[in-house]
A = this chain, B = another copy of it.
Amino acid sequence: MYVTFSMEQQPFSYTPFFKVPRKILTNAPNIRRFPSSANLFREGDKAEHVYEVKSGVLRLARVLANGRRQVIAFGLPGDIVGFPNGDFYHTDCDVVSSAEVIAHRLSELESAKGDFETQHRLMQAALREISSMQDHVMMLACKSAMEKVASFLCVLSLRTGTPSSNYTDFSLPMCRADIADFLGLTIETVCRMFSLLRKEGTIALNTPQTVVVLDMEALIDASQSD
């Protein structure tokens, strides 16, 4: 599924800050289960696998020495995480909401020289990842706090929401701090934007982790021009 991140913008859609679900490998799956808060790998670990998310949500993050943290991406079902830099991972990867992943050994991928199909799929996944990171850059640098939060809700809604006739609802498995660190904002600012959207009747929160999109059009508008 493709989502127009800034809908009015281009004659063609492009992937937003989440990657496009697609399988990269067809061979024997090595499915692993991780509970909430589990760690898949840390920055600096030797990269052994790339992971394909089947269910649940992962969080890719990096921490600077001064304590500031940046959430690079959330890994939703269909996403591939764990692209190495050289031989090492360059982010931490933790479980936000208990997840099933398929672990693909990098050594196998590298040695699968006869398997052009696999090579090609992995390359396509890497290219999507580049695109996804560029979209994230666009958002961080070009959007206001409200636009960031609205964009975030838009994408989550489209990727994980269950649409009903008049509304779409979905859960926010990550805490406000994770959202803030993903969007380059503070917790308080994220909260304020949620509150504004609620007051405008664009969304409702059943619990702090359960969003109901009451007016998708308004949400899309808010994601583009405040």
Q: A residues engaging B (CB < 8 A)?
A: 6, 8-12, 14-15, 43-44, 62, 64-66, 68, 70, 72, 83-86, 88, 90-91, 110, 113, 116, 119-120, 122-123, 126-131, 133-134, 136-138, 140-142, 181, 183-184, 224-225
Bound together, the chains give a CA A11 to CA B162 distance in angstroms of 44
> In the complex the two chains form, is A84's CB within 8 Å of B127's CB?
yes
Q: List 15 contacting pairs A-B, 8 Å CB cutoff, sorted by A.
A: A6-B64, A9-B65, A15-B85, A64-B138, A65-B224, A70-B141, A72-B138, A83-B127, A119-B119, A122-B123, A130-B133, A136-B137, A137-B137, A137-B140, A140-B141
> In the complex the two chains form, is A184's CB within 8 Å of B140's CB?
yes
Closest CB in chain B relative to A117 CB, distance in Å: 10
Closest CB in chain B relative to A104 CB, distance in Å: 14
Bound together, the chains give a CA A181 to CA B137 distance in angstroms of 11
Q: Decide yes or no: A62 and B126 within 8 Å by CB, A12-B44, A88-B12, A90-B131 being known contacts.
A: no
Q: Decide yes or no: A70 and B130 within 8 Å by CB, A64-B6, A120-B110 being known contacts.
A: no
